[in-house]
Structure 1
Amino acid sequence: MDGFASLQKCIERLVRIKCSNYKEDYIKRRILSRMRLTNTEDYEAYQKYLLTHPEEIDLLRKALTINVTKFFRDPDVFEVIQQKILPDLARHKKLIRIWCAGCATGEEPYSIAILAHELMALHRDLNVTIYATDIDTEALQKAMAGIYDLKALENVDKHRIRRHFISRDDGTFEVCPHLRELVKFRQHDLMSGVPVARYLDIVVCRNVTIYFTEKQKNELTYLFHTALSTDGYYVMGKTEYLGREVEHLFTPYSAVQKILRKAT
Structure 2
Amino acid sequence: MTPLDYDFLRGFLKTRSGLVLSNDKQYLIESRLMPIVRKNGMASISELVQKLKMPGQEPLASAVTEAMTTNESFFFRDKTPFDHFKEHMLPALMKARAAKRHIRIWCAAASTGQEPYSLAMILKEMGAAVAGWRFEIIGTDLSGEVLERAKAGVYTQFEVQRGLPIQMLLKYFQQNGDQWTISQEIRSMVHYHTLNLLNDFSALGQFDIVYCRNVLIYFDQPTKIDVLNRTAKLLAPDGYLLLGAAETVVGLTEAFKPVTERRGLYVPGGKPAVAAPGAAAAPKLFAYAGSRPS
Under TM normalisation by the shorter chain, which class is it?
A: 0.7 to 0.9
Residue of structure 1 in register with 2:15 after alignment? 18
Of 263, 267, 272 in structure 2, the residue corresponding to residue 257 of structure 1 is 263
**Distance of 1:100 and 1:260 partners within structure 2:** 15
**Structure 1 unaligned runs (5+)?**
none
SS at match of 2:88: helix
TM-score by length of 2: 0.76
Taking a change above 3 Å as real, the CA distance of residues 156 and 44 of structure 1, as seen in their structure-2 partners, is closer
Taking a change above 3 Å as real, the CA distance of residues 172 and 34 of structure 1, as seen in their structure-2 partners, is closer
Question: 1:81-106, CA deviations, whole angstroms, 9 ceiling, x for partnerless residues?
Answer: 11221122222320110000011111
Question: 1:178-209, CA deviations, whole angstroms, 9 ceiling, x for partnerless residues?
Answer: 11121010111111132352321100011111
Residues paired across the two proteins, number: 257
Of 100, 103, 109 in structure 2, the residue corresponding to residue 96 of structure 1 is 103
Of 138, 159, 164 in structure 1, the residue corresponding to residue 172 of structure 2 is 164
**Distance of 2:65 and 2:247 partners within structure 1:** 23
How far apart are residue 23 of structure 1 and its match? 1.4
> Retained in 2: the 8 A contact 1:7–1:44?
no
SS at match of 1:193: coil
Using CA pairs below 8 Å that are at least 6 residues apart, which structure has the higher relative contact order?
2
Question: 1:208-257, CA deviations, whole angstroms, 9 ceiling, x for partnerless residues?
Answer: 111111111111101110010012100001011225240x2112125553
SS at match of 1:260: strand
Kindly provide the amino acid, as one letter, of the partner of residue 156 in structure 1. Answer: L
1:31 aligns with 2:37: no
> Retained in 2: the 8 A contact 1:131–1:185?
yes
**Distance of 2:211 and 2:31 partners within structure 1:** 29
* Deviating more after overlay: 147-156 vs 248-257: 248-257
Residue of structure 1 in register with 2:280 after alignment? none
SS at match of 2:131: coil
Taking a change above 3 Å as real, the CA distance of residues 256 and 29 of structure 1, as seen in their structure-2 partners, is farther
**Distance of 1:249 and 1:108 partners within structure 2:** 25
1:64 aligns with 2:72: no
> Retained in 1: the 8 A contact 2:105–2:209?
yes
Kindly provide the amino acid, as one letter, of the partner of residue 21 in structure 2. Answer: E
Taking a change above 3 Å as real, the CA distance of residues 114 and 20 of structure 1, as seen in their structure-2 partners, is closer
Query: For 1:1-264, what aligned pairs fall within 5 Å after superposition?
Result: 2-7=4-9, 11=12, 18-19=15-16, 21-25=18-22, 28=26, 30-34=28-32, 44-48=46-50, 59-93=63-97, 94-154=101-161, 155-168=163-176, 170-195=177-202, 197-246=204-253, 248-253=254-259, 255=261, 257-263=263-269
Kindly provide the amino acid, as one letter, of the partner of residue 160 in structure 1. Answer: M
> Retained in 2: the 8 A contact 1:120–1:127?
no
* Deviating more after overlay: 72-81 vs 85-94: 85-94
> Retained in 1: the 8 A contact 2:249–2:257?
no
> Retained in 1: the 8 A contact 2:112–2:147?
yes
RMSD between superposed Cα atoms in Å: 3.1
> Retained in 1: the 8 A contact 2:137–2:189?
yes
Percent identical pairs in the alignment equals 25
Taking a change above 3 Å as real, the CA distance of residues 6 and 123 of structure 1, as seen in their structure-2 partners, is closer
Question: 1:124-148, CA deviations, whole angstroms, 9 ceiling, x for partnerless residues?
Answer: 1111000100110000100000011
Taking a change above 3 Å as real, the CA distance of residues 226 and 148 of structure 1, as seen in their structure-2 partners, is same
Question: 1:45-86, CA deviations, whole angstroms, 9 ceiling, x for partnerless residues?
Answer: 442476899996565333222221100010122112112211
**Structure 2 unaligned runs (5+)?**
271-294
SS at match of 2:246: coil
